[in-house]
Amino acid sequence: MTNEEWWRGAVIYQIYPRSFLDTNGDGVGDLAGIAQKLDYVASLGVDGFWVSPFFTSPMKDFGYDVADYCDVDPLFGTLADFDAMVARAHELGLKVIIDQVYSHTSDRHAWFEESRQSRDGPKSDWYVWADPKSDGTPPNNWQSIMGIPAWTWDARRQQYYLHNYLAEQPDLNLHNPDVQDALLDVARFWLDRGVDGFRLDAIHCGMHDPELRDNPPAVGEARGETRPYFMQTQQYNMCHDDLPKVLERLREVLDTYDGILTVAEVGSPDPLPLMKDYTQGSRRLNTAYGFDFLSARELTKDLVESTLGGWPGDSGEGWPSWAFSNHDAPRVASRWCQGLEHGHRVRLIALLQVALRGNMFLYQGEELGLTQATIPFDKLQDPEGINNWPHGLGRDGARTPMPWQSAAVHAGFGDHEPWLPVADEHYPLAVDVQEQDPESLLNVFRRLIDLREQHPALRYGELEFLEAPGTVLAFTRSYKGQSLTCVFNFGAAATAWCPGNIIVHASAGLVDDNVKDGVPGWSGYIGEVRDG
């Protein structure tokens, strides 16, 4: 690898297809809608976009329960629509990243339907099956993240099957080489259709302990009380040591194509060792992201220093990626800006995003400053939110339709009532409103992404923290003789600290060009230190 592969330091825009644009009037976004709005995506200056699942699915978990890896669900269109979307993206110079869900399938997948029929059939060992204990209870104490036991009884086989998510999402047995071969064929199918990379969903869940040992109880700060899953240490139901061998097999396939990006989602309680293991050297994945920022309730200096400090850039180390919002986490404009002047602080967050070392994932609507929508119980769609009501926020509030036009019905998402309601507070944040305002958050993001593209130090450079007082975070980004200084004040009080004679390149409108007297509260800038 070189230091300047297209994906290194890239900005990737995440599209949640159900909520992007509905072109056929059924209330659900589709691939044709994505293709129609790719000029907008390109106008952001991003390198590419990641599309959440659009595969054939009964939609128990909105596409993450895959029933056919190699086809498009009719809800989203056809393979021809997918090919047209890819072609249009490439015309605009955009890379296309798609999800690959290798840890589990839908219980409607043909593989599972065959596996459950017999204990000695060709696919009998393609999923994780186990006999009950002598008293008929599940084989161990593992719990699903969805707030239910991780084992479901199947009357056909007279055995339990494992699922780290919904009961309708049985876990694949990645210890089986035949399963690995089948998934590699899936990867080839989409690579041959022109995709430029994969996001590997929940890949840490891909392998279990074959001995089926009980998980130990969680203790101290690691223990959560909202559901049984968080009362355990996830030691044996996932994160098996043999998983990197599967990733190496995948990498061998990917290296027969040109410039393919692989990014792992790692949601374990201790993600950093796994992220570094999965991206170590040149034979595994390119990059990985965890939930360091996605699960953080507030943005602090300590959070950024501890998270970025885990990726010092040592020899053989992989490359990190960062997301502040996505379809699984409450939107950052609500999570980190509650009780503060909304427009002011989201600009600081945008400035920080472009300054971090690593790839930047930008979730649809984040560039508009969309807040987390409040969805009444009778409108909830997310099974996690329904199962854990009212103790869990659920994910629907981050998945509401994209607002394109402030005065249009359903904010221009489509003519039919959408699958989730458009939040009232999102209409004035619509794209058409912000397009007209040069100082809108949308246009701030465009300028900041362009700044990142124009300065290799921000895209590829090393990061070195500076000593700064109190709530002030400061670091340099350096590459091939260029050095930029990035300063952020995460406190309400102004600070007089300044790292030198700064020429400001960007501040997202938070400070003026004269910063020698310090920086106000909740403000920051990116600039260069000049002598004299």
**Would you please indicate which residues are annotated as catalytic (active-site) residues?**
201, 265
Please choose, from the candidates 35, 69, 37, the residue with its C-alpha nearest in 3D space to the C-alpha of residue 54: 69
Question: What is the 8-class DSSP label of residue 401?
Answer: P
Asked if 73 and 57 count as a contact pair (C-beta separation under 8 A), the reply is yes
Structure tokens at 26: 């059924």
Going through 326-425 in order, the beta strands assigned E by DSSP cover: 359-363
* Element spanning 160, H or E: strand 159-162
CA 115 to chain centre: 31
Amino acid at 127: Y
DSSP 104: B
d(CA 207, CA 172): 8
| Environment class of 454 (CB within 10 Å of its CB; exposed 0-12, middle 13-18, buried 19+) | exposed
Whole-number Å distance between alpha carbons of 146 and 149: 8
Count CB-CB contacts under 10 A for residue 110: 12
Which three-class secondary structure state does DSSP give residue 30?
coil
Q: What is the DSSP letter of 29?
A: -
Q: 70 burial class (0-12, 13-18, 19+ CB within 10 angstroms)? A: middle
Exposure on the CB side of residue 192, measured as CA atoms within 13 A? 9
- Cα–Cα distance, 202 to 278 (Å, whole number): 12
How large is the angle between the packed helices 177-192 and 243-254, nearest 10 degrees?
30
Rounded Cα distance between 426 and 95, Å, is: 28
In 3D space, the residue among 129, 29, 117 whose CA is nearest the CA of residue 73 turns out to be: 29
Q: How far separated are the first and last CA of the chain, in Å rounded?
A: 39
Residue type for position 207 = M
CA–CA gap between residue 402 and residue 18 (Å, rounded): 10
